[in-house]
Amino acid sequence: MSKQVDGQIGTVAALVRSTFLVNAVYADSAREYGLTQQQGQLLCVLMAQPYGMSELGAVLRLAKSSLTGLVDRSERNGLVQRKPDPEDSRAVRVALTRQGAKLADEFYTETCRRIEELTSGFAAEERETLAALLGRVVMDNKVPTVFLEPGPTR
Protein backbone atom coordinates (compact mmCIF):
# COMPACT_ATOMS: atom_id res chain seq x y z
CA MET A 1 0.00 0.00 0.00
CA SER A 2 2.77 2.39 0.74
CA LYS A 3 4.32 3.52 -2.46
CA GLN A 4 7.82 3.77 -1.30
CA VAL A 5 10.80 3.64 -3.50
CA ASP A 6 13.93 2.78 -1.58
CA GLY A 7 15.70 5.62 0.04
CA GLN A 8 12.69 7.80 -0.37
CA ILE A 9 10.66 9.12 2.48
CA GLY A 10 6.90 8.71 2.66
CA THR A 11 4.52 11.63 2.60
CA VAL A 12 3.48 11.31 6.20
CA ALA A 13 6.95 11.07 7.65
CA ALA A 14 8.11 13.88 5.40
CA LEU A 15 5.36 16.11 6.70
CA VAL A 16 5.97 15.28 10.33
CA ARG A 17 9.71 15.58 10.15
CA SER A 18 9.73 18.80 8.19
CA THR A 19 7.26 20.15 10.72
CA PHE A 20 9.70 19.29 13.45
CA LEU A 21 12.38 21.15 11.56
CA VAL A 22 10.40 24.28 10.88
CA ASN A 23 9.26 24.34 14.46
CA ALA A 24 12.80 24.27 15.68
CA VAL A 25 13.86 27.04 13.34
CA TYR A 26 10.91 29.15 14.36
CA ALA A 27 11.55 28.63 18.05
CA ASP A 28 15.24 29.39 17.71
CA SER A 29 14.54 32.55 15.81
CA ALA A 30 12.00 33.66 18.40
CA ARG A 31 14.39 32.97 21.19
CA GLU A 32 16.99 35.27 19.70
CA TYR A 33 14.51 38.08 19.85
CA GLY A 34 13.63 37.35 23.44
CA LEU A 35 10.37 35.70 22.48
CA THR A 36 8.87 32.31 22.99
CA GLN A 37 7.48 30.55 19.97
CA GLN A 38 3.95 31.39 21.05
CA GLN A 39 4.73 35.03 21.56
CA GLY A 40 6.36 35.12 18.16
CA GLN A 41 3.31 33.58 16.64
CA LEU A 42 1.08 36.09 18.33
CA LEU A 43 3.10 38.96 16.95
CA CYS A 44 3.04 37.48 13.46
CA VAL A 45 -0.70 37.10 13.53
CA LEU A 46 -1.17 40.64 14.75
CA MET A 47 1.04 41.99 11.99
CA ALA A 48 -1.90 41.60 9.66
CA GLN A 49 -4.43 43.42 11.83
CA PRO A 50 -5.76 43.73 15.37
CA TYR A 51 -7.99 40.93 16.62
CA GLY A 52 -10.42 40.33 19.42
CA MET A 53 -9.54 37.71 21.98
CA SER A 54 -12.05 35.21 20.68
CA GLU A 55 -10.91 35.61 17.12
CA LEU A 56 -7.34 35.20 18.23
CA GLY A 57 -8.24 32.04 20.04
CA ALA A 58 -9.72 30.66 16.86
CA VAL A 59 -6.72 31.61 14.76
CA LEU A 60 -4.11 30.34 17.17
CA ARG A 61 -6.19 27.39 18.30
CA LEU A 62 -5.99 28.31 21.94
CA ALA A 63 -8.56 28.17 24.70
CA LYS A 64 -9.57 31.60 25.85
CA SER A 65 -7.96 31.17 29.21
CA SER A 66 -4.67 30.27 27.52
CA LEU A 67 -4.87 33.36 25.43
CA THR A 68 -5.44 35.66 28.36
CA GLY A 69 -2.13 34.59 29.75
CA LEU A 70 -0.26 34.91 26.49
CA VAL A 71 -1.61 38.38 25.86
CA ASP A 72 -0.96 39.34 29.47
CA ARG A 73 2.69 38.46 29.22
CA SER A 74 3.09 40.11 25.85
CA GLU A 75 1.39 43.21 27.14
CA ARG A 76 3.60 43.27 30.19
CA ASN A 77 6.54 43.21 27.82
CA GLY A 78 5.17 46.17 25.94
CA LEU A 79 4.58 44.32 22.69
CA VAL A 80 0.83 44.35 22.44
CA GLN A 81 -1.95 46.45 23.77
CA ARG A 82 -5.54 45.78 24.73
CA LYS A 83 -7.93 48.44 23.55
CA PRO A 84 -11.64 48.54 24.26
CA ASP A 85 -13.80 47.62 21.31
CA PRO A 86 -15.89 50.72 20.52
CA GLU A 87 -18.80 48.61 19.35
CA ASP A 88 -18.96 46.16 22.18
CA SER A 89 -17.89 47.10 25.64
CA ARG A 90 -17.35 43.49 26.68
CA ALA A 91 -14.85 42.97 23.95
CA VAL A 92 -11.27 43.97 23.50
CA ARG A 93 -9.05 44.55 20.52
CA VAL A 94 -5.51 43.34 20.75
CA ALA A 95 -3.02 45.26 18.65
CA LEU A 96 0.72 45.61 18.35
CA THR A 97 2.32 48.54 20.10
CA ARG A 98 4.88 50.51 18.18
CA GLN A 99 7.60 48.56 19.87
CA GLY A 100 5.77 45.32 19.19
CA ALA A 101 5.39 46.14 15.53
CA LYS A 102 9.07 46.84 15.25
CA LEU A 103 10.03 43.61 16.95
CA ALA A 104 7.47 41.66 14.96
CA ASP A 105 8.95 42.99 11.80
CA GLU A 106 12.48 42.07 12.73
CA PHE A 107 11.49 38.66 13.96
CA TYR A 108 9.37 38.02 10.91
CA THR A 109 12.09 39.02 8.50
CA GLU A 110 14.74 36.96 10.18
CA THR A 111 12.45 33.97 10.42
CA CYS A 112 11.64 34.19 6.74
CA ARG A 113 15.31 34.26 5.98
CA ARG A 114 15.97 31.17 8.02
CA ILE A 115 13.04 29.23 6.67
CA GLU A 116 14.01 30.10 3.17
CA GLU A 117 17.46 28.71 3.82
CA LEU A 118 15.97 25.33 4.44
CA THR A 119 15.43 25.00 0.71
CA SER A 120 18.70 26.59 -0.28
CA GLY A 121 19.64 23.53 -2.26
CA PHE A 122 16.54 23.76 -4.41
CA ALA A 123 16.20 25.02 -7.92
CA ALA A 124 13.69 27.83 -8.35
CA GLU A 125 11.33 25.50 -10.07
CA GLU A 126 11.46 22.94 -7.31
CA ARG A 127 10.81 25.58 -4.73
CA GLU A 128 7.79 26.68 -6.67
CA THR A 129 6.45 23.17 -6.92
CA LEU A 130 6.88 22.69 -3.21
CA ALA A 131 5.12 25.95 -2.51
CA ALA A 132 2.26 25.03 -4.77
CA LEU A 133 1.74 21.63 -3.19
CA LEU A 134 2.08 22.80 0.38
CA GLY A 135 -0.09 25.74 -0.50
CA ARG A 136 -2.79 23.31 -1.45
CA VAL A 137 -2.44 21.50 1.82
CA VAL A 138 -2.82 24.80 3.60
CA MET A 139 -5.83 25.80 1.55
CA ASP A 140 -7.56 22.43 1.58
CA ASN A 141 -7.32 22.32 5.33
CA LYS A 142 -8.22 25.94 5.88
CA VAL A 143 -5.19 26.88 7.88
CA PRO A 144 -5.58 30.39 9.26
CA THR A 145 -3.09 33.07 8.33
CA VAL A 146 -0.63 32.57 11.10
CA PHE A 147 2.15 33.85 8.90
CA LEU A 148 1.94 36.50 6.25
CA GLU A 149 3.21 36.31 2.75
CA PRO A 150 6.72 37.62 2.60
CA GLY A 151 6.64 41.31 1.94
CA PRO A 152 6.57 42.64 -1.58
CA THR A 153 10.27 42.96 -2.15
CA ARG A 154 9.23 42.32 -5.63
Question: Taking the CA of residue 102 as centre, how many other CA atoms within 13 Å lie in the half-sphere pointing to its CB?
Answer: 4
Residues in the chain: 154
Per-residue x/- track, 26-65, a copy of itself (CB under 8 A): x----------------------------------x----
Distance of alpha carbon 19 from alpha carbon 111, whole angstroms:
15
Contact positions with a copy of itself (CB under 8 A) in 90-109: none
Distance CA 146, CA 47 (A): 10
Of the listed pieces 48-56, 68-76, 79-87, 133-141, which binds a copy of itself according to CB under 8 A? 133-141
DSSP code for 119: T
What is the per-residue binding string for DNA in 39-78, x denoting contact by CB under 7 A?
A: x------------xxxx-----xxxxxxxxxxxxx-----
